[in-house]
Amino acid sequence: MSKAGYIVGETDTGGFAFVSDLDCYPPKHEYLIIEGVKEREGIGFKHVDVLAQVNRISNRSDVLGDALSMEELESIINRYTATTKVFGTAKVLGYIDRRGEVVMPRSAAIPGTEVKIAPTEMLERFFTKNIRRGVSVGHLITREEVNVALDPNGFRRHVAVIAQTGAGKSYLVGLMLENLLPLGATVIVLDPNSDYVMMRRKRDGGATAIADDMVVYRPPGLKGRRYSDQEVGGAEPYTIDFSKLNAGQVCDVAGISGRWAVIREAVGDALGQLQGIYGPQQLIDALERIALNPATDTRKAKAAMSATTYIRRLLNYKIWGSRDIPLDELVKPKRLSVIDLAGLQRNVSEYIVQKTLDDVWSLAVTGSLEYPVFIVLEEAHNFAPGSGAGQRSGSSLGIIERIAAEGRKFGIFLLVVTQRPNKISSNVLSQCNSQIIMRLTNPEDMSAVRRSSEGLSEDLFNDLPGLNKGEAIVVGELTKVPTMIKISGRTSGEGGSDIDLEEALRDALKASELAKKMKPEEDDDKEYKTRW
Amino acid sequence: MKEEIDLLGAELERRWYPLPGPKAVYEKEFSVDSSSAYRSLSNGLDFLIVRALMLGTGGYRRPMLRFEAVKGISEYSVASDFERALRELIEVRIVLENIGDVPEGSMVLIDGNLYGRYTHALRELGLEGWHHLPLELLDAMWMLYEECVERGITLVGVSKFSKTRALTSALLPGKAQRARFLDVELLYRRKTGETGYTEPLLLGEYGVDPRVKSLYGSPGKMRASLFGRVPERLHGFAEEVLERVPSFPAIAMFHVIPRENAQPMRVDIPASLIGLDRKISDVTPFQFIEARHVDGVVRQIAEAFGGRDVYNALLYVVDKEVRLSARAVDTVYKSVLGRELGVPIEYDRSTRRFTY
Ligand SMILES: Nc1ncnc2c1ncn2[C@@H]1O[C@H](COP(=O)(O)OP(=O)(O)O)[C@@H](O)[C@H]1O
Ligand SMILES: [Mg+2]
């Protein structure tokens, strides 16, 4: 264990300052140990090893002050290597008591005490609750050799994964799924960007260990997908049976605002006339019948006519059919179901989210859900927008809020993924007692995170903008104490990852050069050129 | 007054030399300085921390620390004598301790004048239990000078604020009386705007009390007269040191103005280190020596001048670094010592003192 410095100045139970030097100073975020801190126990004392984390490192030269002129500085620098003093401050994280729990000490460290770099073995015990049965996600940011595994029990309280786009949310969630599935988990992913469809394939080709336990559902016949069914490794087609939609759902999907009560009423009336299996065209016909019926009063006739405009849009949707996603498949144990929502209209996606969750919820509350179900909700701010978000509250909001509030009683656990914590319903976010927060720089989103997260201390909060891609702060029930992790080890392929722009531009350049070459040779005649 | 300054000015012209070329001569330079902090503790003890630092070109750095706790000293002058003696001692000791790291042909700079250290050490300290401290200093200085000769190291004292009148007195025709002007005053009046240095002056008996001179050669009497309160068990040591007193090397002293309008610096070098075998006791006031003897030192010092605040680069650095900040004393040392001594250290607020 190597020396990192000495504690100086005033200390308290929460932290201390230390002096170090350029040869042994610990980097920011490094973990330190103060050995043998005297801690009261009953009427006596015990000695405990306290773990702390560096939250600031600064250098100072007493000699090379800013009062010196350039000439004076040069006279010094030319003949002397000025010593730099290294100062640091560290935040106390706690010590492990006899039961293996992390406890904050009630004594402050004594100035003059040596601080050391914390040993690997201690860090492992400190951060991972259940080393053998944990969900492995990577290692400590400052200590690559210390692996961190999340406590599966931590998922009981719903998990929020929050970070700006590109920070690595989907990478992390995919990794968690890879490791949750072998534990027997049932997972349903609501995937608006095809982020998870490639998880059957390893990044370097070949099948992943979870390939056989995974099903991708996607609507057939959508053009311009990023990954074909073949690349994905096969997909189950799913459609929506239009005739199973009630009036409210039809209006939601068609984008008829809740404020237009008459129009919605007209849709209800028209649906009342239809029976058996039908599609949007039949609904349009029914609406027209109402509109043209001389017995209809003019207000309703107008409303029915307007409704046709909305419903007509639905004709272009390729989603209608009779192949529902089979609910009993979704809730099978050790099963990963990815519902690909990419390419669908927003209202349609919302409907699918709502319907899927409603279905699972109905199973759960009737006691028919045999195993716990994890639901991954990507772009959660779109499906569960907050009231201040300035958007029409989507049809899926209600069921999401309900599951957030009560789901865990019935074995439904949410994994909420969002880049706009400021725009997501606070009823949902505040129910996620475990949070994994990655790089975040937007001030509004940062303060939303701060409001919703009890475990996020001031200095962890301040670290958010400084995190690199793939680095995460885990607070809540997933680890014993807030932990800074470098996420790594994903084997499965990613779907929606960023395109390599540099490569794409190179291709574009090549194509443009090729095009130029194929142009007919230009005439060398000067006169000819000047004319142009 | 007018007359004296004119006389002095005329004489100065004869003893004034332009700076030699800018080429530094000593390949390696070291510098030494010390600082101290005094605290009166509530249990009646006075507690002194003395710290020395030796720096060298190329990142060389050696610290030394000394703590002393003494029964409350009521007289301020005694306290400051004690403190000064300990600082001067630790500055010499740190060089002695690390002299093996100093290559031949190096220059070691000490902040302050060397001659004064010697003359001050010729009387006992008025502090019970520490009467002999100046003898320890003399002993250490002797060893240091010997080591430096042996190893070919040039030890140089540099001071920025010297109150000496040695030069002005030496310049006065007749040399009978003490000059009314400080050396720096003369230089200020006559040499402002110029650069150069004064012809080195050998200091021997000049500042030594005549009473002391009369005791040369009789260490027993000298001990009894100057160090009467030194306990008997130290008599042997005391006499051994005092016997060497007349044989201390004389000090070559000059002033240098390294840059236009810069404050003059006083430089002291033991004669033995510039190849002159001259003792304190065989130099009567006032003898100049040829300027070439100090040519290398002048070059080096002129080169190391950085500016108004940085009159010598390495000494500036060591001075800054050695300072015990009040905070360092009050936090680190206080708690470390409290643990070491097994008593909590509380200051007596009324008598807090700092010295740097
Ligand atoms: N921990 C990680 N290690 C390596 N690369 C990562 C990591 N996390 C993310 N990436 C890469 O960064 C890019 C963006 O990650 P992604 O998970 O899609 O971000 P987000 O979902 O937050 O927008 C992807 O190309 C992904 O491969
Ligand atoms: Mg993503």
Query: From A8, which residue of chain B is nearest by alpha-carbon distance?
Result: B332
Q: Which residues contact A75 (CB under 8 A, 6 or more apart)?
A: B304, B305, B306, B307, B310, B313
Give the 3-state secondary structure percentages of chain A, helix then strand then coil, rounded to 5.
35, 25, 40
Interface check for B58 against chain A (CB to CB < 8 A): the answer is: yes
pLDDT in tens, A23-42: 999 999 899 999 999 998 88
Going by DSSP bridges, is the β-strand pair A159-162/B29-40 parallel, antiparallel, or unpaired? unpaired
Handedness of CA B135, B54, B38, B164 (dihedral sign): positive
Cβ contact A69–B59 (<8 Å): no
What's the one-letter identity of residue B171? L
Average pLDDT over residues A100-107: 90
A67 contacts in chain B (CB < 8 Å):
309
**pLDDT for residue A281 is more than 50:** yes
B259 occurs within a structural domain: yes
> Of B115, B123, B109, which is closest to residue B167 (Cα–Cα)?
B115
Would an 8 Å CB–CB cutoff place B30 in contact with chain A? Answer: no
Average of per-residue pLDDT across A406-418? 95
Nearest to B34 by CA among B327, B326, B321, B334: B321
- Give φ, ψ of A260 to 5 degrees: -90, 70
Please say whether the dihedral angle defined by the alpha carbons of residues A200, A202, A204 and A207, taken in this order, is positive or negative: negative
How close is the nearest chain B Cα to the Cα of A72, in Å? 4
CB contact under 8 A, B306 and A72: yes
Minimum CA–CA partner of A85 in chain B: B321
The predicted model gives A145-158 an average pLDDT of 91
Average of per-residue pLDDT across A400-411:
94
The rounded Å distance from CA A328 to ligand 2 centre is 28
- Distance (angstroms) between ligand 2 centre and the Cα of A308 equals 37
Tell me how far apart the alpha carbons of residues B319 and B257 are, in angstroms, rounded to a whole number: 21
Three-class secondary structure of residue A170 per DSSP: helix
Give the Å distance between the CA of A498 and the centre of ligand 1: 8
The structure tokens listed for A37 are 């801190």
Contacts of residue A123, Cβ cutoff 8 Å, sequence gap at least 6:
A31, A51, A140, A143, A146
Looking at every residue in chain A, the average pLDDT score rounds to 89
Residue B135, φ and ψ in degrees, nearest 5? -65, -40
* Rounded distance from Cα B209 to ligand 1 centre (Å): 84
Whether B55 sits inside 8 A of A80 (CB atoms) is: yes
Backbone φ/ψ region at A135: left (φ over 0), alpha (ψ -120 to 50), beta? beta
A396-400, A447-451, A506-510, B20-24: which has the minimum mean pLDDT? B20-24
pLDDT in the model for residue A178: 94
pLDDT tops 90 at residue B333: no
* Contact residues on chain B for A62, CB-CB shorter than 8 A: 320-321, 323
Tell me the nearest-neighbour CA distance from A80 into chain B, angstroms. 5
The b/e string for B91-126 (b: 16+ C-beta within 10 A; e otherwise) is: bbbbbeebbeebeeebbbbbbbbbbbbbbbbbbbbe
Structural domain for B223, as ranges: 2-32+106-322
B163 touches chain A (CB under 8 A): no
Q: In this structure, are residues A82 and B317 in contact, taking their beta carbons and an 8 Å threshold?
A: yes
d(CA A484, ligand 1 centre) in Å = 17
Residues 6+ apart with CB under 8 A from A220: A237, A239, A318, A321
B275: distance to nearest CA of chain A, Å? Answer: 27
Q: From B325, which residue of chain A is nearest by alpha-carbon distance?
A: A62
Q: Which of B29, B321, B332 sits opposite A8 (nearest CB)?
A: B332
Tell if the CB–CB gap between A76 and B310 is shorter than 8 Å. yes
Ligand 1 atom with the smallest distance to the CA of A165 is 23
The pLDDT-based confidence of B346 (bands split at 50, 70, 90) is low
Cβ–Cβ below 8 Å for B317 and A112? no
**pLDDT at residue B1 in the model:** 54
- Which residue of A72, A73, A87 to mutate against B (max B Cβ within 10 Å)? A72
Q: Does A79 sit within 8 Å of B57, measured CB to CB?
A: yes
- Rounded Cα gap, residues B238 and B243, in angstroms: 9
B184: closest CA of chain A, how far (Å): 23
Cα-to-centroid distance, A502 and ligand 1 (Å):
17
Closest CA to A345 of A190, A498, A192: A192
Ligand nearest to the CA of A194: 2
Euclidean distance between CA atoms B244 and B138, whole angstroms:
9
The residue whose CA has the least distance to atom 10 of ligand 1 is A168
Compute the nearest-CA separation of B305 from chain A (Å): 7
d(CA A411, CA B351): 71
Residue A1 distance to chain B (closest CA, Å)? 22
- Cα A333 vs. chain centroid, distance in angstroms? 24
Q: How many CB pairs under 8 A join A and B?
A: 69
Provide the pLDDT for residue A529. Answer: 40
**Which of A38, A75, A114 best probes binding to B when mutated, by most B CB atoms within 10 angstroms?**
A75
CATH classification number, A147-225+331-487, choose in 3.10.200.10, 3.40.50.80, 3.40.50.300, 3.40.50.1220: 3.40.50.300
Residue A166 has pLDDT above 80, yes or no: yes
Distance CA A312, CA A527 (A): 60
If pLDDT is split at 50, 70 and 90, which confidence band does A518 have?
A: confident
The residue whose C-alpha atom lies closest to atom 15 belonging to ligand 1 is A168
Best probe of the B interface among A21, A23, A63, by most B CBs < 10 A, is A63
SS (H, E, C) B45-71: EEEEEEEEEEEECCCEEEEEEEEEEEE
Cα–Cα distance for residue pair B147/A183, rounded to 1 Å: 77
Average pLDDT of every residue of chain B: 87
**What H or E segment, with its residue span, contains residue A448?**
helix A443-452
In this structure, the residues whose C-beta lies within 6 A of any atom of ligand 1 are A 163, 165-171, 469-470, 487-488, 494, 496-498
A459 pLDDT above the threshold of 50: yes
Ligand with an atom nearest the CA of residue A469: 1
- Mapping DSSP onto H, E and C, the string for B67-107 reads EEEEECCCCHHHHHHHHHHHHHHHHHHHHHHHHHHCCCCCE
Taking residues A289-302, what's their average pLDDT?
91
Which residue's entry shows tokens 């630790």? Answer: B90
- Taking an 8 Å cut-off on Cβ atoms, the answer to whether B314 and A79 are in contact is yes
Name the β-bridge partners of B279: B249
Atom number, ligand 1, closest to the C-alpha of residue A174 = 17
Q: Distance (Å, rounded) from C-alpha A189 to C-alpha B152?
A: 82
B107: left (phi over 0), alpha (psi -120 to 50) or beta: beta
Closest residue in A to B28 (Cα–Cα): A79
What's the whole-number mean pLDDT along residues A174-201? 94
Residue-level pLDDT at A524 = 45
Q: What is the pLDDT of residue B134?
A: 96
Is A82's CB within 8 Å of B317's CB? yes
- List, for residues B192-227, the tens digit of each pLDDT value: 999 999 999 999 988 888 888 899 989 999 999 999
Q: Which ligand is nearest to the CA of A161?
A: 1
Mean pLDDT of A216-225: 86
Distance CA(B73)–CA(B61), nearest Å, equals 33
Cβ-based neighbour number of residue B213 at 10 Å = 13
Tell me the range of A97-101, A296-300, A314-318, B197-201 where mean pLDDT is highest.
B197-201
Q: What is the Cα A231 distance to its own chain's centre?
A: 25
- Going by pLDDT thresholds of 50, 70 and 90, the confidence category of residue B356 is very low
Q: What is the pLDDT of residues A114-138, one digit of tens each?
A: 999 999 989 988 888 776 778 999 9
Closest approach of A36 to chain B, Cα-based (Å): 15
Q: Please tell me the least confidently modeled range out of A83-92, A496-505, B50-59, B160-169.
A: A496-505
The answer to whether A338 touches A492, Cβ cutoff 8 Å, is: no
Chain B residue with the nearest C-alpha to that of A64: B317
> Average pLDDT for residues A307-327, to the nearest whole number?
90
Q: What percent of chain B has pLDDT over 90?
A: 58
Count of CB atoms situated within 10 Å of the CB of A258: 12
Spatial neighbors of A345 by CB under 8 A, at least 6 apart, are A253, A317
Q: State the total domains in chain B.
A: 1
B-chain CB neighbours of A85 within 8 Å are: none
CB-based contact B62:B40 (threshold 8 Å): no
- Across the interface, whether the CB atoms of A75 and B307 are under 8 A apart is answered yes
Nearest to B307 among A8, A72, A80 (CB): A72
B323 in reach of chain A (CB within 8 A) = yes
Q: What share of chain B is helix, strand, coil (3-state, %, to 5)?
A: 45, 20, 35
pLDDT band at A268 (very low <50, low <70, confident <90, very high): very high
pLDDT at A340 over 90: yes
Q: Give the residue, by CA position, lying nearest to ligand 1 atom 17.
A: A168
Please provide residue A166's backbone torsions phi and psi, each rounded to the nearest 5 degrees. 90, -5
Omega before B286 cis (within 30°)? yes
Q: Where are the domains of chain A?
A: 3-118, 147-225+331-487, 243-314
Any idea which residue has 């236009």 for tokens? Answer: B260
Out of A92-101, B101-110, B237-246, least confident range: A92-101
Phi, psi torsion values for A520, nearest 5 degrees? -65, 150
What's the pLDDT score for residue A86?
A: 94
- Strand ranges, E, within chain B: 16-17, 29-40, 45-56, 60-71, 107-111, 154-159, 196-198, 201-203, 251-257, 265-270, 287-288, 353-355
Is there a domain that residue B23 lies in? Answer: yes
> What values do phi and psi take at A10, rounded to 5?
-90, 135
Name the one residue in this structure whose structure tokens are 């860090």. A123
Q: Has residue B89 been placed in a domain?
A: no
The Cα-based distances of A224 to A140, A228, A414, A499, A511 in angstroms read 40, 9, 30, 16, 21
User: Which ligand is nearest to the Cα of residue A138, counting in written order?
Assistant: 1
Which of ligand 1's atoms lies nearest the C-alpha of A486?
1
pLDDT of residue A317: 85
What ranges in B122-209 are assigned the alpha helix state H? Answer: 133-151, 166-171, 183-191
Q: Which of the residues B317, B339, B345 would you substitute to probe the A interface, choosing the one with the greatest number of A C-beta atoms within 10 Å?
A: B317
Q: A525 burial class (0-12, 13-18, 19+ CB within 10 angstroms)? A: exposed
Tell me if residue A489 falls in helix, strand or coil.
Answer: coil
pLDDT tens-digit profile of B108-145?
Answer: 999 999 999 999 899 999 998 899 999 999 999 999 99
